[in-house]
Each structure stands twice: as structure tokens, then as C-alpha cells.
Structure 1
Amino acid sequence: MSNSVNLDDIIISKRALHLSENSSLDEMADALQVQQRGVWPLYDDNAKGLEQVQVKTFHYAQCNVKVQFNPARIKSSAAKVDNKSIKERKCFLCTDALPPKQKGIPFNDEYLVLVNPYPIFPRHLTIPRLEHAPQFIEPYFRDMLELSRALKSYTVFYNGPKCGASAPDHMHFQAGNKGFLPVETEYSKLKATTDRKLFSNEHLEIFAVSNYLRKFIAIESDEMTLLQTAFEWLYELLEQRGQEPEPMLNILSGYENGKWRVLVFPRDKHRPDQYFAEGDENILLSPASVDFGGVCITPQEKDFKMIKAADLIDIFAQVSVTDSYFDELCAAYAKRVVE
């Protein structure tokens, strides 16, 4: 964080948000978005644009996938995240780079809850750490769980540095209102019908889903420390692949009725071949947590109009792990949990 910036000038009070002192982070986040629309034209324009966004839905045997035409997301989808490009640009999540109109809410004296000025969700937040530290989930997974509990009406998500994060040099989470992603409404059926129940007791449940276009492992628990340990075991297994700077993954986390639910999507690839193709074969779609949750973002109108159900099957097959690796991972994880 730059010494030239006074954090007090960025933080907005509950009083300024017209809230009582006992208001929750949930309530503050909602009020912040209303306040920011009133004072920040860029955010207001993009929020208005989101209200008019075009969406179409593809129906598969296992799930539904929505495709959103959102031109404001071109900055994120086309972001250059190679080391050279990162070093040559200023970090837009550091406090000294925030627009003058942008205000935030502190969380645990380590994070700043901000509106996302290029929203995908009707309520979309970006939550960077105050310090400039690399995007790396292992030291901060517990923070994700604490955020999920504090933002009960939101799903908190993490994009790995090579899995959709447009700022891989600055640790941050994002959050969007619950119920927006198809995986959330389809989750109960997936859990009930899966044949991959890896572990279950009174305080911890783990199961895997492979027949869903994209593969994931779900971890549920009412005990934060137990869930954190279960995630660390999975992370250690993923580390064996030798991917750098960390295992490729996307994570969705939510808290409801006294219990956390964490979905981990292991990855094989950052961007599909279509992203780099030329001519009619090109599709500017860079899958991240939201896409794995069932809402694919296309910032170009041509892609929105031309994309087909078969394209999504192929794209997810490329960026997801293989069937054989997922089988091995599930077997190793089930063994590790019961040891």
C-alpha cells in the first residue's frame, strides 16, 4: 500500500451509508453499491448496462449454462497477465491507484471491500488485501471462509493467478449475490445423485462431480478449522502436479444455515485454443470462477451470437482436468481424509 494514500480517505463509514452501528457487512456492502452508483459515473454506467445485458441459455443433460454478452468485461477477458505485462503496468488494486470516487469497507483490517466497476452480478464486489501480495490461496483460505460467513447473501470466489485473475500480482477475492450461478441451484441434485461420496460424518462431507461439463470437489462443514484442514489436504494433492506458481484452480465459497460449502474446480489450462485462434474460430472467452459456476462471459457480440453448445463442451474439456487425473485425485483424496 502506498504511503501517499490515507486509508481514512477511502474508507466509508456506516453513518455515510445511512446505516446503524450494528449493521452487518452484508448490509454495508449492499449500501456501498447504492452509494457508489450515486457518485461514480463509470460504475453507474456499467451497472445500468448490466441491467440491459443479453443472456442466452444452453441446456445439457446434466446442467444449464448461461452465456452473457457483457462488453464492459473486455478489460478483464483480454487482460495480459504475463510477467512482462504485469511488471509494466500499475497495480489497479493498490489503494494509491483507486479512482478518487471509489470508496470501500475494511474487513479484518486486512482487506478492502469494493464495488466491482465492471460487474457481472447485479451485486458484484472485489475484495483486495490492503498489502500488495501475490494472488495465492493457501495462506488466505481461512480469510475466504471468514468473508463467506460475513457476506451471507453472497458467494465468495477465488480465481487463481493462471485461472482468470486479471490481477495475479495482488491477492484478492470477489463476491456476487447468491442464486446467480446455475451451480448454486443445481447443487442439491448433484449432491443427491453423485456416486462419488468421498467422506461423510456429522461435521464434514466431501463429494465429487465429474459429469457436469466441468469437474469439481465439494467440501461442506460447520467447523471452520475442519474445513480448512480438508482443503489443505486437497491442495497438497494438487501441488503434486507441479503447476506454478500454485495448483491451477477456481473456488466458490458460501455460508448458509451455520455451514460452509466450498467448491474446488481443478484446472488443466488457463485459456482454451479458441481464445488464441484467428478468424471465425476465435472466441474471446477466458474461463474463471463465474464461468465454472455456469455463467460464461463473452465481451464480444460476435462470440455471443455465434457460440454453440458444442463450443462450450469443448472449451470446458480443454480447461478442466482429464477424467483419468480426476479419478486418481478423488481416490487419493478419499484415502487421505480417512487416514
Structure 2
Amino acid sequence: MSTSLKTKTLIEGQLRNWSLASNNYAGLQKVKTKSVVLAGGSEVKVQFNPERMRSSAAKVDTKSIQERPCFLCEKNRPAEQEGVDYGDYTVLINPFPIFTEHLTIPHKEHTLQLIAPYFPSMLELAKELNDFTLFYNGPKCGASAPDHFHFQAGIKGFMPIEEDFRSGDYAKLIVTSGGVDVFNWQGYNRGIITFRSANAAAIEQLFAQLHKALWTKQAEEVEPMLNILAGYEEEQYVVHVFPRILHRPACYFAEGDEQILISPASVDMGGVFITPRPEDFGKISAEDVAEILKQVCMSEEQCLAVINQIIEQG
């Protein structure tokens, strides 16, 4: 049985036998959503999902992490939580979902959330689980467990970026290098660098150059700040990289009416903003979303400069 089929069977079994998961997935039916349209015409969906408070407000400082057991290590997982083995990874159902099918895929070893050694695994998993979009949140870009390497995955078709890429309205082909189409996004209110190719090794090589180029701008960090979405469709890999310049926006730390408790991660970058508090869901506007993206993301002009840099360095 393929990993994909085993995963579908896992989801069905966990929703049948694990009350925490079944209750939270049933609760998705009650999740409120609204849409805002940004300058340039792109849509961002806003979801009110109170179960995501533990992620949005997660304490990721060293002291807090050291003082809690790692919830991704097998020995600390709930007894009801089952998994599917895939090489060095275990595919798990995420019991606090955003998607109607939401996976967490931790490494079997307790090792730091750093993408460079594991990016090839992301492409492998994207192809293996091709009904899903894989995503990676950096240690300062939305990961609530920066001490244990993991991916997540959500069922395809949920995030606006997927259709927006196919439309060609925002992603502009800049160059084809080594069999990889490289896109820069324009008029999308956040900088994105997209790779598309049937050749996984060629994408891996280009991503390594991108990683190096971004890291030179943030040498003080353990890795360049970024989020990544990866999918496999029509026999090609599509990888969206969101270079980041800030972990959390100013509104996260504001007080009173000025506060909006948003800690953007890959799903937010993909066009679905998660609000765990009803007051934030009610008041957040297109202008708020655009300002949050402007604060935490590299601009499209900066991304274009990085693309040109890595192509010139060849």
C-alpha cells in the first residue's frame, strides 16, 4: 500500500477512534471565514479558529522550549495518536487542524527545525502525498516546535496561492535556469520566489543557492527566515519560498484595541490568515493584512534582486 493510501486510511481511523481529533475536525464546520481583497486584486481568506491559539501564541523562546516536553517526540505523543512511517519521518494527523485534512510530519529524531539538510525530503513527500501541499515554517516564522524538525501538510485547494499561481496574474516567469522555471510575484503584497520543474535535483541545487544568498543577509540567524510551500502536480514540483524579515508584526505586541494576535506562518503566506480570537476576526481589514505582510515579508523588488543574484552566480 502506498504512503498516500496509508495516510488516507490513517486519517479515517484517527477521526473514528481519537476523540480529540474527531471533535476538532468536526469543529471545522463551525469555523467562521471571511474574505478581504488586497490592493492589486488578490484575495486573502480570514479564518476564526480558536483551537489555533496554542500555535499563534506559542512561546518559542529557549527557556520556554526547554521547560516543556517535546510534543513531536514519539514518547510524548498521546497514546491515541497513530502514525505512518516514511523513511526518517512519521506522518501524523494534526489534532488542531486548519485544513479538513491536516498532517504533521516530524522527523524521527529530535533535531532542530532547519530546512537545509531536509529540503530534498520535502520534495519527496510532496510527490508521495500529492493530494497535499507540504509546508515548512522556519524557527522564527511560525513553527511552534522549533526544537524538533517537522513539516506540515494540508489538502490541496485550500490556499488562494494555488489558484493564483495557475492564473498567471501575479507570478511572472523571470528565467529558466537548469530546467527550473523561476518566478517573481508582482502586485501580490508579499515577496515570493517560485521554482517549477520536473527535476527535483535541479530545484534542490537552486534552492541551496537561494538559501545561501538569503543567509548572507541574516548571518546572525540560525538559518534565513523563510516559509516554504511545496506541491506536486502535472508531473512537476512547484515550490513557493517566502523570504521573511520579521517573526511577528507590531500588532501582535500592541495593547488594547490595537492588538491583532497574528503570528504569520506558511498558511497565512498562502493566503489564509488564522485568527484565534473573535475580536481579531471581526476587526481585521484588508489594510491590516497588507500591513502585516509588508512588515514580515521581503518585498517583491527585493526578491527580484535575489533571483538576479543567484542566476548571475550560476
1:220 aligned residue (170, 185, 196): 196
**What is residue 271 of structure 1 aligned with on the other side?**
248
The alignment status of 1:291 with 2:272, answered yes or no, reads no
Larger radius of gyration: 1
Cα drift, residue 222 of structure 1: 0.8
190, 207, 211: which one aligns with 1:235: 211
1:184-263 matches, within 5 Å, as: 184-190=162-168, 194-195=171-172, 197-200=173-176, 203-241=179-217, 242-263=219-240
Query: Aligned runs of 1:172-187 on 2, under 5 Å?
Result: 172-187=150-165
Distance 1:193 1:322 in 2: 14
| More divergent stretch after superposition (119-128 vs 254-263) | 254-263
How big is the shift at 1:294? 0.3
For 1:17-96, list aligned pairs within 5 A. Answer: 23-60=1-38, 61-96=40-75
- 2 CA distance for matches of 1:58 and 1:298? 14
Query: 1:166-197 deviations in whole A, cap 9, x for unaligned?
Result: 0000000000001110000111223x6655x3
CA distance in 1, matches of 2:305, 2:190: 16
User: Aligned residue for 1:315?
Assistant: 292
Secondary structure (helix, strand or coil) at the match of 2:44 reads: strand
User: 1:143 maps to what in 2?
Assistant: 121
The separation in 1 between residues aligned to 2:184 and 2:50, in whole angstroms, is 34
CA distance in 1, matches of 2:231, 2:255: 39
After superposition, what is the alpha-carbon deviation per residue over 1:218-247, rounded to whole angstroms, capped at 9, x for unaligned? Answer: 001111111100111111101101141100
What secondary structure does 1:36 align onto? Answer: helix
Paired AA for residue 313 in structure 1: A
Gaps of 5+ in 2: none
Distance (whole Å) between structure 2 residues aligned to residue 210 and residue 75 of structure 1:
33
Asked if the contact 1:30/1:123 (under 8 Å) is kept, the reply is no
C-alpha distance in 2 between matches for 1:319 and 1:243: 17
SS in 2 for 1:155: strand
Q: Distance in 1 between matches of 2:123 and 2:213?
A: 21
- 1:210 Cα shift? 3.6
1:58-106 residue CA offsets vs partner (Å, 9 max, x unmatched): 1233310000000000000000001111111110000000000000000
Residue number in structure 2 paired with 1:157: 135
How far residue 303 of structure 1 moved from its aligned partner, in angstroms, is 0.4
Q: Output the amino acid matched with 1:70.
A: N
Instruction: Provide the rounded CA distance (Å) in 1 between the counterparts of 2:36 and 2:236.
Output: 31
Distance (Å, rounded) in 2 between the aligned partners of 1:260 and 1:226: 11
Q: How far apart in 1 are the matches of 2:199 and 2:300? A: 31
**Superposition pairs for residues 298-337 of structure 1, below 5 Å?**
298-322=275-299, 325-336=302-313
Give secondary structure in 1 for the equivalent of 2:222: coil
- Please say if residues 193 and 303 of structure 2, whose CA atoms lie closer than 8 Å, have aligned partners that are also in contact: no
For these two proteins, the number of residue pairs brought into alignment is: 312
The separation in 1 between residues aligned to 2:250 and 2:165, in whole angstroms, is: 29
Normalising by structure 2, report the TM-score: 0.96
CA deviations on 1:243-290 (whole Å, 9 max, x unpaired) are 411000000000112110000000000000000110000101110000
Aligned to 1:17: none
The residue type equivalent to 1:34 in the other structure is E
Query: Compared with structure 1, are the counterparts of its residues 194 and 122 closer, same or farther at alpha carbon in structure 2 (3 Å cutoff)?
Result: closer
Write out the 4+ residue segments of structure 1 that deviate beyond 4 Å after TM superposition. Answer: 192-195
Contact 1:65 1:182 in 2 (8 A): yes
Q: TM-score, normalised by structure 1?
A: 0.89
**In 1: Cα distance, 2:298 partner to 2:177 partner:** 28
> What is the CA RMSD across the aligned residues, in angstroms?
1.4
